[in-house]
């Protein structure tokens, strides 16, 4: 090993690419080679730039394939999660929250007291549904459309929708909408606090409206996204994403795989070419946990993958391994560092 290490310290980029053990490390096919070359890099040998150049060229010539063992590991975590889980978390039965039952009682008394006037008021009451961290809930709206709420989200709407009248809901958090097209072509609008409004006739889409992330991803049909000001609306076709840049207030649109954004419906956490800070934000929002790390150590590597939604520690572990960081638990918080 030490002889090898000596030899490897004088390798040029081409020497690395001609070495079967280096290629096995890049392909992720040989655990021993992966362990060896990972350790070798830690020593920061003088020819590390040549090593990096070899890595870049290998990635290009292989079509940027992800390594085998890492991909298999991802599959294993997905499988372990499936086996442990017997009751599906996603509940596709319409549920009434306690909150709503409260309103029913309140509404009933108003009805008795105020008669028709009360009835009118009741119809105009706002109903809210909310989910805790790690919880999901499917709601059926007055027109038969459904919304599945992801973790830590709130959806509200007026209790009664008169026929021919606009259908308006407000979302904070994240939800998957399946909107019925009504014969009267009545628009369906989703509002997010101060960010933008999505208007549709009948479609399926995922909408996210969290502190500094406002996003719509369209699966089917057609939607129009309009910002809070009077900028022109964006029209999305299936497979497109619209996002509000919180810094500039600009709405942008790009092509994506919609399946990557509603993985949570299938108990999966999907990462799409994202940096560590973005991944951590996603994990914190999903599980309501506190993760600390030094942004200086985050690097610029981007991670893509599908991980199980049940266990935050498994997710954090995978991210830590990928970014070559260690994970420790400190009180209620998780700490990521070198």
Partner 1 sequence: MPSPVPEIPPSLWEGLRNRDDSSLSELYRLTYNDLLNFGIYFGFTATDTKDAINQVYLELWERGEKLPVVGNIRSYLITALRRKLLKDFNRENHFTELTGREPGYEPPYEEVIVQAQEQQHLQQTLQQALSQLTPRQRQLIELRFFRNQGNEEIAEATGMHINTVYNTLSSALKLLRQTLNRKEKRSLVPLWLLIFSLLGL
For position 61 contacting partner 1 by CB under 8 A, the verdict is yes
**Nearest Cα to 56, choosing from 84, 16, 112, 88?**
16
Region from 33-41, 121-129, 257-265, 325-333 binding partner 1, contact rule CB under 8 A: 257-265
Contact set for partner 1, span 268-287 (CB under 8 A): 270, 273
Q: What's the CA gap between 199 and 201, in Å, rounded?
A: 7
Report, in Å, the least distance between residue 257 CB and partner 1: 5
Asked if 166 and 149 touch (Cβ cutoff 8 Å), the reply is no
The two three-digit tokens of residue 334, written as one number: 């998780």
Region from 53-61, 96-104, 166-174, 317-325 binding partner 1, contact rule CB under 8 A: 53-61
- Kindly write out the interface string for residues 210-249 of this chain, putting x where it contacts partner 1 by CB under 8 A and - elsewhere: ---------------------------xxxx---------
For position 17 contacting partner 1 by CB under 8 A, the verdict is yes
For position 4 contacting partner 1 by CB under 8 A, the verdict is no
Residue 287 CA neighbour count, 13 Å, CB half: 24
Report, in Å, the least distance between residue 151 CB and partner 1: 22
Burial 292-307 (b: 16+ CB within 10 A, else e): ebeeeebeeeebebbb
Report, in Å, the least distance between residue 281 CB and partner 1: 20
Report, in Å, the least distance between residue 131 CB and partner 1: 25
Beta strands in 112-158 (DSSP E): 126-130, 137-140, 146-149, 154-158
Nearer to partner 1, 126 or 257 (CB): 257
Asked if 31 and 37 touch (Cβ cutoff 8 Å), the reply is no
Nearer to partner 1, 252 or 304 (CB): 304
**Nearest Cα to 310, choosing from 92, 174, 135?**
135
Number of residues that bind partner 1 (CB under 8 A): 40
User: Cα 5 from chain centroid?
Assistant: 42
The two three-digit tokens of residue 317, written as one number: 């572990």
Q: For binding to partner 1 (CB under 8 A), which residues are involved?
A: 13-14, 17-18, 20, 23, 27, 29, 53, 57-58, 60-66, 68, 71-72, 74-75, 78-79, 82, 237-240, 255-257, 259-260, 270, 273, 304-306
């Amino acid at each position: 090993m030490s002889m090898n290490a000596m030899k490897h310290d004088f390798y040029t980029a081409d020497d690395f690419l001609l070495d079967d053990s280096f290629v096995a490390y890049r392909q992720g096919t040989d655990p021993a080679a992966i362990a060896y070359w990972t350790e070798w890099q830690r020593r920061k040998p003088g020819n590390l730039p040549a090593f990096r150049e070899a890595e870049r060229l290998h990635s290009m010539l292989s079509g940027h394939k992800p390594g085998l063992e890492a991909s298999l590991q991802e599959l294993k975590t997905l499988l372990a999660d499936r086996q442990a889980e017997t009751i599906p978390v996603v509940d596709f039965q319409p549920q009434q929250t306690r909150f709503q039952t409260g309103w029913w009682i309140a509404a009933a008394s108003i009805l008795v007291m105020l008669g028709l006037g009360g009835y009118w008021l009741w119809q105009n009451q706002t109903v809210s549904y909310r989910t805790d961290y790690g919880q999901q809930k499917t709601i059926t709206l007055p027109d038969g459309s459904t919304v599945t709420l992801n973790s830590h989200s709130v959806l509200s709407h007026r209790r009664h929708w008169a026929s021919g009248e606009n259908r308006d809901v407000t979302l904070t958090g994240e939800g998957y909408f399946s909107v019925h097209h009504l014969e009267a072509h009545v628009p369906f609008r989703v509002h997010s606090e101060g960010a933008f409004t999505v208007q549709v006739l009948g479609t399926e889409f995922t909408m996210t409206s969290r502190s500094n992330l406002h996003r719509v991803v369209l699966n089917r049909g057609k939607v129009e996204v309009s910002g809070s000001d009077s900028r022109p609306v964006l029209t999305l076709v299936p497979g497109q994403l619209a996002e509000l840049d919180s810094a500039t207030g600009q709405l942008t649109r790009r092509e994506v795989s919609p399946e990557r954004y509603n993985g949570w419906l299938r108990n999966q956490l999907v990462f799409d070419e994202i940096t560590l800070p973005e991944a951590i934000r996603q994990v914190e929002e999903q599980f309501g946990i506190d993760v600390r790390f030094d942004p200086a150590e985050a690097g610029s590597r981007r991670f893509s993958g599908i991980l199980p939604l049940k266990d935050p520690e498994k997710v954090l572990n995978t991210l830590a391994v990928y970014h070559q960081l260690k994970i420790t638990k400190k009180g209620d918080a998780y700490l990521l560092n070198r």
